[in-house]
Structure 1
Amino acid sequence: MPNPSRPRVAALAAAALVMTSALAACSSDPKDADLTSQALNWKDCPAPSESEGGGPAPSPLPGGAAWQCATMKAPLDWGKPKGDTIGIALIRAKSSGAEDKRIGSLIFNFGGPGGSGVTTLPAFGNDYAKLRTRYDLVSFDPRGVGRSDGVKCKNDQQLDKYFQQDAMPDDAAETKELVGNITQFNDACERNSGKVIPHVATTDAARDMDLMRQVLGDDKLHYFGISYGTELGGVYAHLFPKKVGRAIFDGVVDPTENSEEGSLSQAKGFQLALDNYAKDCTSKVEDCPVGDTPEQVKAKIAKLLKDLESKPIPGVFPRELTQTAATSGIAQSLYSKDFWEYLTEGLVQAYEGDGKILMLLSDSMNGRNENGQYSNIQAANVAVNCADDKPRYTPAYVESKLPEFRAASPQFGDYLAWGMLSCTDWAVPGAAEHPDVSAPGSAPILVVGNTGDPATPYEGARKMVDALGKGVGVELTYEGQGHGSYDSGNKCVRGAVDGYLLNGTVPKAGTVCK
């Protein structure tokens, strides 16, 4: 079901104490399978596949440099390194600087889990032009994502219906229907992708990154992880602390929380972001078109959502804007302050009976393009989360937690609480309560937290620093809005991150950027 705590597009996770210990006895060096010596066949990138979101092939970078794509072979099952392989789709832009100044490859993971790095890196490529002066910029579709044997569940028409469902039930009949829909979705994932879903845990992706490091010819892994990418980076640092080079964690997942605790933290985070939006709108010189006071803005939103439960309004034809779609659309708009103007416009339209803008925002959350095609971001998201997260929650348990979630967020509490059912009847057991990111002996990792982050609340940055261990995590605070910090364009944040990645200059712990 759509749920920003599941898109760690949003970001919550738990990876693999159990799997970590189980695989520790296995060879973490894939030399046995002769995969470290594989030569990558770099070619011009094709247009993104439907599972990656579709669209045109990536445009050349300023100066005419082309994006190149390749496929790396990795063991499907890292416990059987000589067994079947899986293809990991890669993309790169070669360094623009002098060869003698080149540091190596800088590997990006933009989060999700389920986000395609092959499509996301070119979309933000210009933002990393300075970093490209000393690095090849590299990203990838993690296993189960996009072209890396992307998990398949339902088709586009079925997903349209699935994301329209009532995801916030009010009675036993509605709860039964929701559980049935989730079970059908999860059964479809097993039916269509049963071979890959046992092998999409965060520990598997971390081992893929270490193979990637070797195949790319780097002694150390230089890394830029955003949102869920910070969890992936933390798990990598735990498994391979001596191989960590210069690493940035931005928009930081709290590695100490299980999936319930993470969902509750996100309820608080999205509520904070909505509060900040309401204050911003009503503090401007011109009138706020969606309310005169912050309280009125939120009250009108609450009434809209309640009304939509029984009477949806026209959305993107032929679909209607339901309560669930409107809630996910509002959540999507809070990921960036740049989207707040679209939220305002969408609310104004919705109050007049037109739900198109809020539905387009909801579609963006769910990976649906204008042609009605879905990427596999939600399918992969569920698959990774359910492989990582050990807890399995029941409807009765969720109901017992509703008062706590509603207290954390009147607008998003029910939405995030019921989202805890996402792994109902999942075919693969979850690995652990939460990931192990302890990394004694690792090089310094710059951990950047945003005080207004809705999806990965600010407190997670401090928890990550503590969990990485003494002398590893270095905390940097950005007093801003939206998810993540570097892409806000804040000069202080960019200066600190660029200074570390390009020159090895570690900022003073506790630095605050405003």
Structure 2
Amino acid sequence: MRRRTVSVTVALLALLLSGCTAPTVRWVSPTSGRPSASASATGGFQVSPPAWRSCLDEADKVLQGQRPRGIGYDCATVQVPQDWSHPDPAKSFHLSLVRVRSQDQTGRIGSLLVNPGGPGGSGVDLAMYLSAQLPDDVLNRFDVIGFDPRGVDRSDPVKCFADADMDAYFAFDPDPVAQADFDAFVALNKKMATGCQTKYGDELPLFSTEQAARDMDGIRQSLGEQKLTYLGFSYGTLLGATYAQLFPKNIRAFVLDGAVDPTQQAIASAEGQAKGFSHAFDEFAAWCKGNAAQCPAGPDAKATLTAALDKGRKAPLTAADGRKLTAGWILLGTFEALYSQRLWPVLAQGLAGATGNDPKRILQLSDEYAERDPNGHYGNMIDVFNTVSCDDDASGETTTQARSLQSRWRSQYPVFGTSLAMGIVSCAVWPAKRDPFPTGKAVGAPPVVVVGTVNDPATPYEQTAKLATMLGVGHVVTWEGEGHTAYPQTTCIRAAVDAYLINLTVPPDGLRCPPK
């Protein structure tokens, strides 16, 4: 299945706050396309200023009672047109915002808009998490503004996948060999996609990345900012890149971390991710071999994963909630853990349990990925992910191609390749019209900082320079580390990004930061 991207910061803090020992993330399979409306066509629609209200209770809920001192949290809702190319006051979406403001703020520069990725990640949650993570120099100079993009969580959420269908989707074998099993997976995807089309009709294509980028400029207007300062992770880099092309002269400073190459077709993107996750698992396996005391999965982690998947196919364990620990759930949890080294001990425990008699740990990882709660209910991240990804995707892949790639990638990228080939199915059967995003230069924009991690499994490092080159104003900063996204993990990365955000000091192009 296609993997989505959410910043390490969000997932790490979510797990730490819940008592787990490590972080998580997600990723996206981007596609290229053409703009559906001119870069200046906002129809003269003006977004009203937000009516802020204190929302400490919401912050306490998100941060599980671990809200940092000296920070204020205000929430609001703003109204944007459903279709920016044809704004109609009678047809609008309501976007949920949060403003995180330090009580020690001095020399305020303005607002820092943030997005965690996905598509489907909550920017409201991210801003609240960042209140405990961003350097004081940044918190003291900016109001951190998080927003849930159209269709996400608190912003008129897209919800069209039934919980039972979601369970079936994730439990499905990631490598269905028999044609009947492959056809059943295609049928499930068609059922889910048709449900979305039936529920939302002509609105479905309006959840595209381009429309969301235009929302960002509406938010800028509502905040009274002449220029926008933005920090986007993972899919948030694609959103930021789209904005940069549509509104290049409205940019103050943009940091795009965990870069997505907008020009890359879906198949090439999926293959890059197959390579990336295969490499990430090799690194995990090497860690297990050299750290036996910390790795209950044993010295040969690849053999342990293979044994777990085999068991999931032939004799799956039964979890406390009655679920069968199928190969699908096991691989999903493995994907989740490979986004960050700090999740490796949890993965080791999960694989050991999956080959033994304890499904709890691996299901904890897979449920975090899937946004599945203990009662079997799902958030709407997957609904949004499929909707936005497929709205954006005009590359025309087919289920026949997915079947062919499944066979080819089984040998080229054992374990992970077939799942990524199967991910092509979701958009191949998507019934709605498409609204691809632009893939050109950000003519007239100031320098944009594009951050890439050398061993990023989700958005492979090669995409970093491609995004910078496509925009024409990108300046690459490299973190020679492991995992997905870099800021604010090390001193070198923090120093480069903070100086740019605060003082507009552009880091030397090609700057490389060590792993620690």
TM-score by length of 1: 0.90
Contact 1:452 1:480 (C-alpha < 8 Å) held by counterparts: yes
What is the deviation of 1:482?
1.0
Deviation at 1:191, TM superposition (A): 2.6
Q: Determine what percentage of the aligned residue pairs are the same residue.
A: 36
Q: 1:154 aligns with which of 147, 157, 161?
A: 161
Question: How many residues end up aligned between the 2 structures?
Answer: 494
2:96 to 80, 86, 89: 89
The letter for the 2-side match of 1:42 is: W
Residue equivalent to 2:466: 463
Q: Quick one: structure 1 residues 29 and 59, their matched pair in 2 at CA, closer, same or farther if it must change by over 3 Å?
A: farther
Q: Where do 1:217-256 residues align within 5 Å?
A: 217-256=224-263
Say if 1:408 and 1:243 are closer, same or farther in 2 by CA, change over 3 A. farther
Letter of the structure 2 residue corresponding to residue 119 of structure 1: D
Cα distance between partner residues in 1 of 2:62 and 2:5: 28
1:159 to partner: Cα distance? 2.4
> Matched residues in 2 for 1:71 and 1:451: separation?
38
- 1:44 corresponds to which of 54, 60, 64: 54
Aligned-residue CA RMSD (Å): 2.3
Report the CA distance between 1:5 and its aligned residue: 5.1
Matched residues in 2 for 1:281 and 1:372: separation?
32
Q: 2:423 aligns to what SS in structure 1?
A: helix
Look up the equivalent residue of 2:140 and give its one-letter code.
T
| C-alpha distance after superposition, 1:26-83 (max 9, x if no partner) | x53453x3x24x131111338779xxxx955875853343311111111101121234
Aligned to 1:121: 127
Q: Could you say which residue in structure 2 is the equivalent of 1:419? A: 423
8 A Cα contact 1:47 1:58, kept in partner:
no
In structure 2, the partner of 1:401 is 405
The match for 1:141 is: 148
> What residue is the counterpart of 2:17 in the other structure?
none
What amino acid is aligned across from residue 474 of structure 2 in structure 1? Answer: G
User: What is the Cα deviation at residue 435 of structure 1?
Assistant: 4.5
Distance 2:371 2:349 in 1: 21
Answer yes or no: is 1:259 the counterpart of 2:266. yes
Do 1:149 and 1:196's aligned partners in 2 also have CA atoms closer than 8 Å?
Answer: no
Amino acid at match of 2:88: K
Q: Deviations over 1:457-507 (max 9, x none)?
A: 1111111111111xx1111110111110014x2111111111111121111
Deviation at residue 415 of structure 1 after TM alignment: 0.5
Q: Does 1:441 align with 2:438?
A: no
Q: Secondary structure of the equivalent of 1:427?
A: coil
Q: Deviations over 1:202-242 (max 9, x none)?
A: 10011000111111011111000100000110010011111
Aligned to 1:508: 508
Shift of 1:97: 4.6
Q: Which ranges in structure 1 are unaligned for 5 or more consecutive residues?
A: none
* Cα shift at 1:189: 1.5
Q: Which residue of 2 aligns with 1:338?
A: 342
- 1:15/1:96 CA distance change after superposition, 3 Å: farther
Q: In 2, are the aligned partners of 1:314 and 1:356 still within 8 Å (CA)?
A: no
Distance change (3 Å), C-alpha of 1:186 and 1:220 = same
| Matched letter for residue 334 of structure 2 | I
Tell me which stretches of 4 or more aligned residues in structure 1 moved more than 6 Å: 46-49
Q: Deviations over 1:377-435 (max 9, x none)?
A: 00000000010011343332122223442344211000000110012432323334x74
CA–CA separation in structure 2 for the residues paired with 1:291 and 1:185: 39
Report if aligned partners of 1:48, 1:119 keep a CA contact under 8 Å in 2.
Answer: no
Question: What one-letter code is carried by the residue in structure 2 that aligns with 1:447?
Answer: V
What displacement does 1:124 show?
3.2
Q: What is the match of residue 12 of structure 1?
A: 29
Q: Which amino acid in 1 is paired with 2:125?
A: T
Q: Which runs of 5+ in 2 are unaligned?
A: 7-24
> Is 1:499–2:499 an aligned residue pair?
yes
Query: Following the alignment from structure 2 to structure 1, what is the Cα–Cα distance between the partners of residues 294 and 345?
Result: 13
2:353 partner SS: helix
8 A contact 2:56–2:72 mirrored in 1: no
Q: 1:465–1:474: 8 Å Cα contact kept in structure 2?
A: yes
Report the secondary structure of 1:496's partner residue: helix
**8 Å contact 2:316–2:326 — kept in the other structure?**
yes
Who is 1:475 aligned against? 476
1:204 aligns to 2:221 (yes or no): no
Change (3 A) 1:192 1:236: same
Seen in structure 2, the aligned counterparts of structure 1 residues 338 and 437 have a Cα distance that, compared at 3 Å, is farther
Aligned mate of 2:382, from 378, 384, 388: 378
